[in-house]
């Protein structure tokens, strides 16, 4: 499932992270066998919710070409009066479960449908799920026709954490040669996705204040993220703000303030949403857990990707000089004893952490030089390209948790280009 966020020229497709559960439900053809209703969280914002549901409808058509989408919005009348809303859709005057099931089953004899009900509270979802499951079962018995329901729960209630989440998404990776604006859009979207914990609603809020930013204006982006974080923070109930001001223990009781485990880079550990961390750092600079909060703000997926690109460049540089080093230079004292021991452990047979990290049968290094630090290789060979030192500095900074900026993004692009791969770029943008 996909949803378009932002605005041209900075519009990017985001992929709904939990859509797999919806796909598995669709794959069982629930309109044929009275499958239990599918209940999922969707964005609260009308436009964002509509985009997600448009994606859900498109996906449903891929699994059943003849399936029709039947939206029901129980607004105005009592949303808990399930029978009345279903009868109104079918344009029949019946009140009992049995009569309604027969009427609905007969009307759908030749056109299978998915009833899509947008709800705004867990109480509504519970009432609709129970009643619709009953009516669906009766329709299958009485008319031989299955009734299929999707409940789109648009609420900020602290709902069941096990519910599928169609309100979280992540920007897609560009699969073509990107332009300058494309790369800025990719950077902008990923920074925002991390800041909001992949919540589509919050992302829409942030985009309203950043789409006019000049390319590379990190200072303005940081201010926009700070403003959004503080705006969301002051709207929290006072007891939660008071609790967060001195401890993160409140997070154990409020999953809405935690990073969803499904978000790339979250590692599944309990951590505050990045906007929560940013707001606490701004409101309480001496917060007892400020160091952890600063780490939570850093866009982890982007930092890991940049670090991976640096490691790849390091491997290419080492490959270019390694044969001569191994052939002509004895293992010098410049290689730390720790490196020599690591080589011995990783290539030996004794159980140790280095050996345990390597998959059985995986190719192993053949010489201690291959494990030497890039700085050691640079000094000993005298042949490394001039970009080596900058790659080493960026790699070390990222490995030690440095925040990721547009300058870092541009520098890695430029270094890759200088080594003969990657798009041309300028590190001073």
Segment 307-318, tens digit of pLDDT: 999 999 999 999
Instruction: Give domain status of residue 89, yes or no.
Output: yes
Quickly state the pLDDT bin for 279 (edges 50, 70, 90).
Answer: very high
Instruction: Give domain status of residue 170, yes or no.
Output: no
Task: Please indicate, yes or no, whether residues 113 and 211 belong to a single structural domain of this protein.
Answer: no
User: Residue 399 pLDDT > 90, yes or no?
Assistant: yes
Task: Please indicate, yes or no, whether residues 181 and 148 belong to a single structural domain of this protein.
Answer: no
User: Residue 345 pLDDT > 80, yes or no?
Assistant: yes
Task: Please indicate, yes or no, whether residues 63 and 131 belong to a single structural domain of this protein.
Answer: yes
Residue 41: strand, helix, or coil: strand
27-52 average pLDDT score: 90
At 122-140, the pLDDT tens digits run: 888 888 999 999 998 888 8
Residues 6+ away with beta carbon under 8 Å from 75: none
**Of 232-246, 266-280, 341-355, 379-393, which one has max mean pLDDT?**
232-246
Closest by CA position to 38, among listed 219, 169, 227, 166: 166
Task: Please indicate, yes or no, whether residues 276 and 323 belong to a single structural domain of this protein.
Answer: no
Q: In terms of pLDDT, which residue wins out, 183 or 328?
A: 183
Task: Please indicate, yes or no, whether residues 23 and 68 belong to a single structural domain of this protein.
Answer: yes
- What pLDDT score does 329 carry? 64
Contact 145, 177 (CB under 8 A): no
User: Residue 325 pLDDT > 90, yes or no?
Assistant: no
Instruction: Give domain status of residue 29, yes or no.
Output: yes
Instruction: Give domain status of residue 1, yes or no.
Output: no
CA angle 221, 222, 223 (to 5 degrees): 90
CA–CA distance, 164 with 38 (Å, rounded to integer): 9
User: Residue 145 pLDDT > 90, yes or no?
Assistant: no
Copy the structure tokens of residue 13. 């497709």
User: Residue 377 pLDDT > 60, yes or no?
Assistant: yes
β-strand partners of 115: 70, 149
Instruction: Give domain status of residue 346, yes or no.
Output: yes
User: Residue 335 pLDDT > 80, yes or no?
Assistant: no
**Of 56-60, 321-325, 331-335, which one has max mean pLDDT?**
56-60
Arithmetic mean of pLDDT over the chain: 87
Copy the structure tokens of residue 203. 């992302």
Instruction: Give domain status of residue 223, yes or no.
Output: yes
CA–CA distance, 278 with 404 (Å, rounded to integer): 15
User: Residue 423 pLDDT > 60, yes or no?
Assistant: no
Q: What is the residue range of 377's domain?
A: 309-418
User: Residue 102 pLDDT > 80, yes or no?
Assistant: yes
Task: Please indicate, yes or no, whether residues 191 and 96 belong to a single structural domain of this protein.
Answer: no
Instruction: Give domain status of residue 7, yes or no.
Output: no
Task: Please indicate, yes or no, whether residues 136 and 194 belong to a single structural domain of this protein.
Answer: no
Quickly state the pLDDT bin for 387 (edges 50, 70, 90).
Answer: very high
Task: Please indicate, yes or no, whether residues 211 and 322 belong to a single structural domain of this protein.
Answer: no
One-character DSSP codes across 365-379: -SSGGGGS-HHHHHH
User: In the chain, how many domains are there?
Assistant: 3
């Amino acid at each position: 499932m996909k949803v378009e966020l932002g605005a041209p020229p900075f519009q990017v497709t985001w992929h709904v992270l939990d859509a797999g559960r919806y796909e598995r439900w669709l794959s069982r053809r629930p309109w044929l066998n009275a499958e239990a209703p599918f209940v999922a969280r969707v964005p609260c914002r009308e436009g964002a919710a509509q985009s997600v549901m448009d994606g859900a409808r498109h996906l449903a058509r891929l699994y059943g070409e003849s399936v029709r989408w039947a939206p029901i919005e129980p607004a105005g009348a009592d949303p808990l009066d399930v029978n009345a809303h279903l009868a109104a859709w079918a344009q029949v005057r019946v009140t009992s479960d049995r009569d309604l099931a027969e009427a609905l089953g007969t009307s759908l004899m030749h056109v299978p449908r998915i009833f899509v009900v947008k709800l705004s509270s867990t109480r509504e979802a519970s009432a609709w799920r129970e009643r619709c499951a009953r009516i669906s079962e009766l329709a299958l018995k009485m008319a031989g026709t299955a009734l299929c329901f999707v409940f789109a729960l648009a609420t900020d209630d602290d709902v069941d954490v096990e519910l599928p989440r169609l309100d979280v998404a992540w920007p897609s990776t560009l699969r073509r040669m990107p332009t300058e604006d494309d790369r800025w859009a990719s950077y902008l979207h990923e920074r925002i996705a991390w800041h909001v914990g992949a919540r589509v609603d919050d992302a829409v809020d942030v985009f309203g204040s950043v789409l006019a930013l000049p390319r590379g204006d990190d200072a303005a982006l940081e201010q926009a993220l700070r403003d959004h974080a503080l705006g969301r923070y002051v709207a929290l109930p006072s007891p939660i703000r008071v609790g967060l001001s001195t401890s993160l223990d409140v997070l154990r009781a409020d999953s809405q303030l935690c990073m969803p485990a499904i978000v790339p880079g979250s590692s599944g550990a309990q951590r505050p949403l990045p906007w929560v961390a940013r707001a606490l750092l701004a409101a309480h600079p001496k917060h007892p857990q400020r160091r952890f909060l600063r780490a939570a703000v850093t866009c982890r997926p982007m930092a890991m990707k940049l670090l991976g690109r640096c490691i790849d460049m390091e491997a290419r540089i080492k490959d270019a000089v390694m044969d001569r080093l191994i052939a002509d230079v004895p293992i010098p004292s410049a290689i730390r004893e720790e490196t020599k021991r690591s080589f011995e452990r990783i290539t030996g047979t004794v159980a140790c952490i280095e050996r345990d990290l390597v998959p059985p049968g995986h190719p192993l290094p053949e010489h201690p030089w291959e494990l030497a630090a890039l700085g050691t290789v640079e000094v000993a060979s005298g042949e490394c390209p001039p970009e080596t030192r900058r790659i080493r500095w960026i790699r070390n900074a990222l490995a030690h948790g440095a925040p990721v900026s547009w300058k870092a993004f541009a520098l890695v692009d430029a270094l890759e280009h200088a080594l003969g791969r990657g798009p041309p770029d300028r590190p001073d943008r």
